[in-house]
Amino acid sequence: MSFLDYLLGRRRNTAEVAKERLQIILAHEHSSRNAPDYLPALQQEILAVVAKYIRIDLEDIRVNLEREGDYEVLELNIPLSEDSKGTTIRATTRR
Amino acid sequence: MITSGKGGVGKTTTSASFAVGLALRGHKTAVVDFDIGLRNLDLIMGCERRVVYDFVSVINEDARLNQALIRDKRVDHLYVLPASQTRDKDVLTLEGVDRVFRELQQDLGFEYIVCDSPAGIEKGARMALYFADEAIVVTNPEISSVRDSDRILGILSAKSRRAVESMDPVKSHLLVTRYNPERVELGEMLSVEHVKDFLGIPVIGVVPESESVLNASNVGTPVILDEKSQAGVAYSDMVDRFLGENRPLRFVTSERRGILRRLFGS
Ligand SMILES: Nc1ncnc2c1ncn2[C@@H]1O[C@H](COP(=O)(O)OP(=O)(O)OP(=O)(O)O)[C@@H](O)[C@H]1O
Ligand SMILES: [Mg+2]
């Protein structure tokens, strides 16, 4: 925001909001860019197994692929009940 | 190769003007429509009534390349290879495209082959980017366009021939189009610097939002030939920069910028 906007008490501009949203979107997409092709299938199958035992809502599940040094870490976070923080399955492979 | 990911951002407008600009500067140039089934480069170039054969008929060997190439009547050294209207998008093959490109370069002596990519990240777009040496990534200062350009850059660095064969990477340039400096200054539009920072590639031009683009497409004259329009001038500058000239960016600040804004402005 410029000094003029500040003086006039103008609200936060929309370009600023767009910038923040893009930052988050791109960071997320870059972390999964080099994901292996089988990742979606793997994800589906793990979820199918979990769903046999626990009632889960697909919407609540977070899947993350991250790089930690030499390792690739695949993380699935599954909320087991409404008030639990959930459980996390981590799979690590060396690159 | 002219690409964007997102549809309707100005790829075809850019392909036409860029090709005209290269030819005007004396380079033998072919502009090729990869948008199979939805061809409209011929309309923007104003040669739609002269289309007999097309890219697909050359790939299928139903016609020879020099039968399908349409020579531009206004500009020397400029030829158009139109797309077909076929509904089958899978007619393009890497082998076929490779053969046509080799013939264009080696037998017919073309210096530049400008490829107008279809939107999306599916087969047609991948076919257009596979052989690219340089990419002009057309982006509107808008959140979804920036995101799609980012995805295309990811594909270029992983799936292009240069990536697959471990050669030097495709050289990518950012072209921001439909830019409105007034709205940028009001904080209603992403600035070219922000778009550049997100995408991490150098800016080759900024084309302002301009009524002359629609007028140009109405009559089938690429806007670069309209020397009185800001968009036309911006495309000329962009071609010069591509060829290594130093041209400062124009039309990136509001003309109505008052003294107060100058003092306190963004
Ligand atoms: N600088 C500009 N100012 C105003 N209008 C523009 C500008 N650039 C492009 N347009 C308009 O935007 C529309 C889309 O342009 P164009 O066909 O070049 O996009 P495209 O990326 O090739 O689209 P598609 O993805 O469908 O192939 C057209 O109506 C064109 O006139
Ligand atoms: Mg197009």
Which ligand 1 atom is the nearest neighbour of the CA of B4? 21
Mean pLDDT rounded to a whole number for chain B: 94
Burial B47-69 (b: 16+ CB within 10 A, else e): bbeebebbbbbbbeeebebeebb
Check residue B193 and give its pLDDT: 97
Which of A59-68, B81-90, B145-154 has the highest average model confidence (pLDDT)? B145-154
CB B121 within 8 A of CB B152: yes
Our mutation pick for probing the ligand 1 site, out of B138, B213, B233, B251, counting the most ligand atoms within 8 A of Cβ, is: B213
Contact B2 CB / ligand 1 (< 6 Å)? no
Q: pLDDT tens across B192-219, in order?
A: 999 999 999 999 999 999 999 999 999 9
Q: What is the 3-state secondary structure (H, E, C) of chain A?
A: CCHHHHHHCCCCCHHHHHHHHHHHHHHHHHHHHCCCCCHHHHHHHHHHHHHHHCCCCHHHCEEEEEEECCEEEEEEEECCCCCCCCEEEEEEEEC
Determine, for residues B264 and A29 on separate chains, whether the beta-carbon distance falls below 8 Å: no
Check residue B20 and give its pLDDT: 98
Touching check for A33 and chain B: CB below 8 Å?
yes
Q: pLDDT tens across A54-64, in order?
A: 777 777 777 77
Q: pLDDT tens across B244-253, in order?
A: 999 999 999 9
Please give the Cα distance from A84 to A67 (Å, whole number): 27
Please give the Cα distance from B170 to B85 (Å, whole number): 30
Check residue B266 and give its pLDDT: 45
Through-space distance between the first and last CA atoms of chain A, rounded to whole angstroms: 44
How close B263 comes to chain A (CA, Å)? 9
Q: Whose CA is nearest to atom 26 of ligand 1?
A: B8
Contact B108 CB / ligand 1 (< 6 Å)? no
Q: Is the pLDDT of residue B257 over 60?
A: no
What's the CA-to-centroid distance between B214 and ligand 1, angstroms?
A: 8
CB-closest option in B190, B198, B264 to A3 = B264
Average pLDDT over residues A27-45: 77
Average pLDDT over residues B130-159: 97
Per DSSP bridges, beta strands B78-81 and B29-33 are parallel
Check residue B55 and give its pLDDT: 95
CB pairs under 8 A between A and B: 51
CB-closest option in A14, A16, A33 to B154 = A33
pTM for this predicted structure: 0.84
Q: Whose CA is nearest to atom 7 of ligand 1?
A: B178
Q: What is the 3-state secondary structure (H, E, C) of B218-250?
A: HHCCCHHHCCCCHHHHHHHHHHHHHCCCCCCCC
- Backbone Cα Rg of chain B: 18
